Structure 1
Amino acid sequence: LADPQFCVAEERSGHCAVVDGNFLYVWGGYVSIEENEVYLPNDELWVYEIDSGLWTMHLMEGELPTSMSGSCGACINGKLYIFGGFDDKGYSNLLYYVNLRTRNGTYRWKKITDFKGQPPTPRDKLSCWVYKDRLIYFGGYGCRKHNELSDCFDVHDAFWEGQIFWGWHNDVHVFDTNTQTWFQPTIRGGVPPQPRAAHTCAVLGNKGYIFGGRVLQTRMNDLHCLNLDSWIWSGRIHISGEKPKDRSWHTLTPIADDKLFLFGGLSSDNVPLSDGWIHSVTTNGWKQLTHLPKSRPRLWHTACLGTEGEVMIFGGSKDDLHFLDTGHCSDLLIFQTQPYSLLRLCLDCIGKNASLLKNQISWLPSKILPQVLKKITFWAAANHRQEKKAEIERQEQINVT
C-alpha cells in the first residue's frame, strides 16, 4: 500500500473505473510521455475510499490482463470484469475478472477461458450495460477478417495482405456471468444505431441507452434505447428543445429512476467539453446545467455513481487526444446531483470543523465515531491537497516572474 496521506491515483485516460460499496476502483489506461503512449501497469489497482477521501494502490496477482487502454469495465456482485482494449500488439477480445471483495486484501485476476459460445471480435472503445447478472456489450472500434464482415460493421481501413479490416461495430453481445456463456441475442425489431465507438451507455430499468460517439468521420448526438428483455431498438429518440452537441469520449450516468447525467467529451470541431446535461426519460427532454465550472473539460474519463447520488468523474484528458495528447488528469471531480442525507451533512460539518470540536468529538456515540473519523480524514486530505496546489501555483508564478 502506498502512503495514503500523500497518495493520489496517477493521471490517465482510457482507463476502467467502477464503484462497489464505499469504494471507487480504477485500473488501466495510458499516459503520454514525450509523445509516446505509455500503458499503465497491469498489476496496479487504485482504490478510493469515498468516506475518507483517501487513495491507496494495491498490487495485483494472478492471470494479469495486458496493459492497455480502451477496455470496457463493469461490476457485477463485487467482481470487476474487463473486456477488450488496445495495446501495442493490437485489439483484444479477452475477458478477465477480479473479486473486489477479497477478505485477505489480495486482488487476483482470473482470465475466463472455460466459457461457452463465441465472444465478440477484438475491439476497444465499446460500451457495456449490466442487467440481470449479464454483461451486454455494444459497438466499439476493432478489426475483422474478410469472412467476418457483416452489416454490423462499417469499414474504415483495410490491410489487404491477410484481408484484415478495421472499422466500427453496432452488434450486441451478451456474457451471462452465471452460466459463463457468450451469445448474440436475436434483435426482434426497431432500427439500431449506426456502427460507432467512443460512445457512452447507461441502464434505466430494463432499458439500455446509447448516446453519441464516433461514426465514420463525424461525431453524433443521437440517443437510442434497447429494451434488454424484448431486444427491440427504439430507433433514434426524437427530442424537441435544446440538446447536447455532437461528441465522443463522454460519459452517461444514471442518477435516478428516470434521469441520466451526461458530461464532457470531444466535440465535432475537436474542442474538449466541460458541459453537463440531465436527460429526463419521463419528459423526453435535455436540460443543461449552468453551474458547472468551464475550466475543467474532460474526455475519455470515467464516471461512477456514488453512495449518495454523487457522480464521480476520474481522470481523462483536458486536451484533444488526436493533436496534443498531453493533458491527462488525475483529479476527481464530484458532482452532487441530489441533496445529501442529514447524516452526511452532519458528518461533513464535523469534519470541516474538527479543530473547533476536538474536545467534544469523543462524546459522540461509539457507533458513529468511525464515520466521523473518516470524514475528519477526508477534509484534512482535501485541505492538504488545496494547500499543495496553491503552493505549486505560487511557485509557478514566481518562476514566471
Structure 2
Amino acid sequence: MSVEELARAVGVTPGSVRRWEAGTQAVGDRAFGRLLKVLHCDAQDLTPGERGTETLADLRRAAGMTAVEVASALQRKRAAEGLHITAKKVRDLEGGRPVRGQMWLSSEALGRVARMLSQVYGVPNRVAMDAWRRSRPDDLAPKLPARRSRDASETALATWCALNERQRSYLTCIFLQDQEAEEEQRQNRYAGAARRPAAEWRRLTLALSAPAEVVGFTRIQERLREAGIHDPGTGSSVSALGRRGLIVVYRDRVYVDGLGDVPRTRVEMTRRGRGVARAALGVSLEQGPPAPLLSSWLWKIVVRVARAGAQGVDGSLAGRGPHYLAVGQSPDGRTPSRGFIVLRHPDGTDHGPYRWFLTDSGRRHITDHVDAYRSLYPGVDVEGVDGGSG
C-alpha cells in the first residue's frame, strides 16, 4: 500500500502515517485498532508485547477505542447499573489506581465489569480476566457471574416424542457415535495432533451397500444391532430424520477391495439433532470449567511446572499445552495464550537448554484459584502448590 492508501483506509492524514513510520508520532488508540484491521495483523506484530502479556490498556487499544468510548459502551449495559462508570474510572482501572465507589470494592461487581469489558473488546472472558490481573495484581480478584444453567428445551422434547421407536433408536445411535468421534478428536488435540475440520470427522459412515459378510458392519450399525435393530439399513428412518432437520444424509461411492466402487451412506448430526438427543437422553452440554479456570489437562501442566520450581520443566513439553499456556503463543492464531508459563534459561544463566517456568501471571492464577481447582479436580494433587517461586 502507498502512504496515501494506508492513510485513507485508517482514516488519518498521510502526514500521520509518515510520522508513524519515522517513529516521531505515536499511533492513537482509535487509529491503532483500525490499523490492525487494515493490515490484517495482531498488536504483537506492531509492538514489543507478546501474546499472553496483554493488559487492559492493550485490549482497549487493540479494539481501537478511547477510554471515553469504552465508558460510553459500558454505561449502556444493564450490568453497569450502580457502577457510575466514567472515562476516568476506565483509565484508573487500567493504571492500577484505586477506583472510587463502594461497589468497586465487591469482587462480584468487578466480575461484572470484567465480563462487560470482554464483550466490548470482543475477547473471551478469560482474556479479559488475565489482562485485569496483570493490570491490577495486588487487588481483589474479580468473580465472574455464574453461568446460567440450560434446561432441556420443550421444543426438543416435543420433537423427540414425535419420532417413532425405530427413528429414536437411529437418532440415539448416531448421536452416541458423534460424541465418540468428538471425544477422539479432543484426545488427539491434547496429544498434539493437528486440528481436523469438523466437517470431516463429524460426517459418519452409516452403511455400505455391499454384503455384510464382505464389508462387515459400521460402528453405527453395530450400535443399532445392539439396540435390537438387526436390519440397520438407510431407508425410511434415515429419511425421516433428515426431513426433520436432525441429520444431514450424504450418498457417494467408495472403493472396496474385491468389489470395486460401492454406494456409501454417511450421516452428520445437525445442531438441532444434537439438542433433541441431549434433551431426550438427559445428556447435558459439556460446558467445561468456568472462566477463567483451566481444563484438567492444562491445570495438570501448570501444577507440574509449579512443582518444578527453580529447576523448571524440560523444554520439550509435549502436546498442545504450550499453545494455550505459554507467553508468545496462541491456541488458534487469534486469541492470546494465558501467559502462565514461559520458555527461558534458568535464573543466573544465559546459555544451555531452555526450560519451562511459571510467569508472575501463572503464580497469581494459582494463588487466586487453587481452592477452586481442589474442588473441580480432586484427583489432581496440589499439595504444596501455592503459586510461590518454588
Q: TM-score, normalised by structure 1?
A: 0.22
**Pair member with larger Rg:** 2
Greater percentage in strand: 1
